[in-house]
Amino acid sequence: MFKILGFLFLAQFLGNPFLALIVLFLILYVLDRRYVGILPSIAKPFRRSRQMSRLRTTISLNPNDVSSKFELARLLIERKRYSEAKELLLNIADRYEQSAEYWVELGYANLKLGMLPEGEAQMLQGLEINRRAQYGQPFLRLAEIFRSVDQDKALHYVSQFQEIHTSSSEAYYLAGSMYKALGRNDEARRAFEESIAIYRSLPKYKKRQERGWALRSYFAKMR
């Protein structure tokens, strides 16, 4: 109702319904980014592209800058350019042999390229070095890959992720989403309910960070 009234007011005030719709969306977007965090950041893809451009320039000037190569590979994986990322990662393997972050990124690139045994082994190697690497996200990535190949393995990786996060609305939402994708609706609902319960128990300063995940869990539970 508030959105409708706001739209009608803006349409009358601006004299243009299309412009009013744009202004209303911008207001809702700013409020969401400030207080909730459900909508994706419009600026993030542009920031990532600029960062990739800077890294490429740095590497062209200093081909031995392995840290820039690793960061560029990570951003390429975010952009789903797995082959290019893998080539960069293999190029710096000797400098990152003991890095958990390196092995989970290389493993994920191989998983997305269809090399499941190799990718899984590399991700597990990284998690053996540091089980909490990337806050346990590699376990969810493994579950995502194996959900249509080996459901028992996918469920195992979801449970491993949950063991790391016992007080995070985000973690239980992500786990619930994975359970739902695997057709385990009861487990999914319990995970979404736990996500909401955790949010309610958090101190005020933490609720801003977790509010968007709690809302996602609420809507996911209702579906």
* Better-predicted residue by pLDDT, 4 or 56: 56
Taking every pair of Cα atoms in the chain, the longest distance, rounded to a whole number of angstroms, is 65
DSSP calls for 92-138: TGGG-TT-HHHHHHHHHHHHHTT-HHHHHHHHHHHHHH-TTGGGGHH
Instruction: Give residue 74's pLDDT band: very low, low, confident or very high (50, 70, 90).
Output: very high
Query: What value, to the nearest 5°, has the Cα angle with vertex 126 and ends 181 and 156?
Result: 30
CA 46, CA 50: separation in Å to the nearest integer? 6
Q: How far is CA 209 from CA 37, 137, 152, 191, 200, in A?
A: 8, 17, 32, 18, 12
Average pLDDT, the chain: 85
43: which 2 tokens? 């600026």
CA 192, CA 222: separation in Å to the nearest integer? 10
- The string of pLDDT tens digits covering residues 103-130 is 999 999 999 999 999 999 999 999 999 9
| Mean predicted confidence (pLDDT) in 17-37 | 61
- The string of pLDDT tens digits covering residues 43-54 is 778 888 999 999
CA 59, CA 103: separation in Å to the nearest integer? 21
Instruction: Give residue 7's pLDDT band: very low, low, confident or very high (50, 70, 90).
Output: very low
In eight-state DSSP terms, residue 32 is I
* 8 A C-beta contact, residue 72 and residue 56: yes
Instruction: Give residue 98's pLDDT band: very low, low, confident or very high (50, 70, 90).
Output: very high
* 8 A C-beta contact, residue 80 and residue 112: yes
Nearest Cα to Cα of residue 162 among 149, 145, 151, 177: 177
pTM higher than the cut 0.85 = no
